[in-house]
Structure 1
Amino acid sequence: MNEPTRATVPTSPAQLLADTKRPLHTPAGLVGDTPVLWIGEPFTVTGRGFWAKLEGHNPGGIKDRTALHMVRAARERGQLLPGARIVESTSGTLGLGLALAGATYGHPVTVVTDPGMEPLMTGLLTAYGAEVDLVDTPHPTGGWQQARRRRVEDLLARHPDAWCPDQYHNPDNVAAYAPLAHELVAQLGRIDTLVVSVGTGGHSAGTASVLRGFFPHLRVVGVDTTGSTIFGQPAALRLMRGLGSSIYPRNVAYDLIDEVHWVAAPEAVWAARHLARDHYATGGWSVGAVALVARWLARFLPAEDRIVAVFPDGPQRYVGTVFDDAYCREHRLLGHLPADDPAEIAHPADRVVTRWTRCTHITDPLATTGEQDAPEQILTGAVR
């Protein structure tokens, strides 16, 4: 007969207090101290796995951290005046963070986005008090991402006191993730491999740079999407949001990254859905892509290697895309079992990748073309 499990009763009020999170006075206090979860079989092979940092436990996702930090730093420097409007281009997650920062510090927020933003995300931003400005025409060469940035420029010209965080090039975006790295050290003690998605470059550079200080031999694996220009591939139509770029963000720390994996949308969908079914912990495009790579590394690296994958958000905003059968059938995302191993290329310019592919030769595309001073190179065909 099975005996009921007995709860452990604290022996003193001090222990009760130690095990209880303190009451919070502002929503910003909900950000940080996110949990880590072991992801093993059946998602991985028997006896292997990795740790997932669940940033979806922040109110809006991982970019709550950078939104609060960038706004606080700009206020301290006098760049953002009391009550001034915040205007930024985003595909969604940073918008939620800026809405939180606006509520915390008393700033109206305008989020510039495009028709690819999910209705659920638009509704949440509006509910949280942000003004959603939707561009309706892609830039002829820079696509939706450049169209959004042009609209931001127009809004800043109309509102001279307004401030744009410029998440792609703002070093405060990188600095915001030192606490995330410190949490990982406190939670796991030792980290051998870090797997991170790369978009604006903020959380990949910020987390990796701090962890490399603790662990000099840390392996950093960047995860991008097919069709993204960040690591030297030509721009192409990109369905996935939250990772990848059609410009070259200056926050990307190429010197910290040991290898890059490009993942296609069907492969990310497969991983995200299997995580949901098998582990009740999942997210959207970025989570699926990062998890697929971490899963392979857990099989490929020595068993004692401690792997951490950063999951930037949770599944809620993707119920109409990644987790919607009709949407996935329309975009031919179902029934694509990822290969056991990634394809390999020796240099990012060797060929255009359309499936999961790995490269250990990392270069800054602007440095190799002698255009390091250009803040954003727009390439024909870029969409988001």
Structure 2
Amino acid sequence: MLDDLFIRLDQLVPGSSVFLKLEGLNPAGSVKLKTAVALVTAAEESGLRFPRTHLIESTSGNLGVALAMVCAAKGYPLTLVTDPNATVRTRRLMAVLGAEVVVIETRDAHGGFLQSRIDYIGERLRADPDLHWLNQYANPAGPQAHRDRTGRAVVEGIGRLDYAFIGAGTTGTLMGCAEYLRRHSPATRIVAVDAVGSVTFGGPAARRHLPGLGTSRRPEILDTKNIDEVVLISEADSVEMCRTLARERGLLLGGSTGTVLCAVQDAAKKIPEGSVVVAISPDFGDRYLETIYDDAWVADRWPDVVGH
């Protein structure tokens, strides 16, 4: 896994240094490979018998691809429970890698799909004693992986670090990085970036279209003690940022990255000149060609974004 790849986007905060940490070059195409390896390793170390044990997990996309890769390599049966917001390409990748893919189309009480996916997993667990839920939402192995790898790589790769902007989905990356930064770079201001409509930090629920950031159910692993600020970004702004960077900078980035970079840009006036800023890019945009980068798909949801 690659931990030390950064590109510069100083134009987002004039007068300061902005580093974007690229996780899309990991073998699974996203930061979630670290989470997947950690979750499966924790299951192995818990004493479960493989390959008799059948693993199951809820995913909006990237973790599912990463888990499918890991389980294919190990010969472990895997079921991935996702929803219509996961792109068709991502769902096909999970299936090609050998996972059973279940798409849940019933929305939960907050208008999302997460609780509905988890309810389905509960039904499967009650019916199959050999089924084991990895549970990225409560499993401490995920944050630990990002504390030991992602957070460490940021500090060792950049050195002095004034601001860290990290997206909040399941919050494993955020929690792990925040813990490492608090211990080893205590002066760093840690900014959690979430999507408008997510309930993770107590905001009102609203329908969302992009996978990755945001939840309709607060993850158990979330602990806000190491977070200095929470910023919410609209999905329309996230999509516009992605499309602008593709058109003007030649960068094809995923929706979560667009969200995080919107937060960086919005904070630019408050960031003192000469600061060092790091943002985490979870994945590239090649999995979103039929959504974020498709004019018709975007126009159907945010007409004002197309043509900008």
Structure 1 length-normalised TM? 0.75
8 Å contact kept, 1:34–1:58: no
1:14-29 aligned within 5 A: none
Equivalent of 1:101 in 52, 63, 70: 70
* Distance in 1 between residues matched to 2:242 and 2:252, nearest whole Å: 6
Task: Give the drift of 1:280.
Answer: 2.8
Whichever residue aligns with residue 50 of structure 2, its letter is P
Whichever residue aligns with residue 323 of structure 1, its letter is Y
Structure 2 length-normalised TM? 0.93
* Distance in 1 between residues matched to 2:31 and 2:182, nearest whole Å: 20
Whichever residue aligns with residue 81 of structure 1, its letter is R
* Distance in 2 between residues matched to 1:88 and 1:57, nearest whole Å: 23
Following TM superposition, the consecutive aligned residue runs of length 4 or more in structure 1 with deviations greater than 6 angstroms are none
CA deviation map 1:126-158 (0-9, x unaligned): 111111012233345664211111111122223
1:315-330 aligned within 5 A: 315-330=285-300
1:107-126 aligned within 5 A: 107-126=76-95
Equivalent of 1:266 in 220, 236, 250: 236
1:273-312 aligned within 5 A: 273-312=243-282
- Which secondary structure state, in structure 2, belongs to the residue aligned with residue 51 of structure 1? strand
Matched, 1:152 2:121: yes
Q: Which residue of 1 aligns with 2:301?
A: 331
Equivalent of 2:167 in 171, 190, 197: 197
Task: Give the drift of 1:295.
Answer: 2.3
* Distance in 2 between residues matched to 1:231 and 1:139, nearest whole Å: 18
Which stretch has the larger CA shift, 89-98 or 149-158? Answer: 149-158
CA deviation map 1:354-383 (0-9, x unaligned): xxxxxxxxxxxxxxxxxxxxxxxxxxxxxx
* Distance in 1 between residues matched to 2:108 and 2:245, nearest whole Å: 36
Task: Tell me: CA distance 1:216–1:48, structure 2 relative to 1, closer, same or farther (3 Å).
Answer: closer
Whichever residue aligns with residue 57 of structure 2, its letter is E
8 Å contact kept, 1:266–1:336: no
Structure 2 residue runs without a partner (length 5+) = none
8 Å contact kept, 2:35–2:141: yes
CA deviation map 1:224-265 (0-9, x unaligned): 111111111121111222111111112122111111111111
1:67-78 aligned within 5 A: 67-78=36-47
8 Å contact kept, 2:79–2:100: yes
In the alignment of these two chains, the number of paired residues is: 305
Q: Give the number of the structure whose alpha-carbon radius of gyration is greater.
A: 1
CA deviation map 1:325-374 (0-9, x unaligned): 01011112543899xxxxxxxxxxxxxxxxxxxxxxxxxxxxxxxxxxxx
8 Å contact kept, 1:50–1:295: no
* Distance in 2 between residues matched to 1:249 and 1:333, nearest whole Å: 32
Equivalent of 1:82 in 50, 53, 56: 50
8 Å contact kept, 1:86–1:162: yes
1:1-384 aligned within 5 A: 31-41=1-11, 44=12, 46-60=14-28, 61-78=30-47, 80-83=48-51, 84-139=53-108, 143-177=112-146, 178-335=148-305
* Distance in 2 between residues matched to 1:34 and 1:103, nearest whole Å: 26
Q: Which structure shows the higher helix fraction?
A: 2
Identity of aligned pairs, percent?
Answer: 35
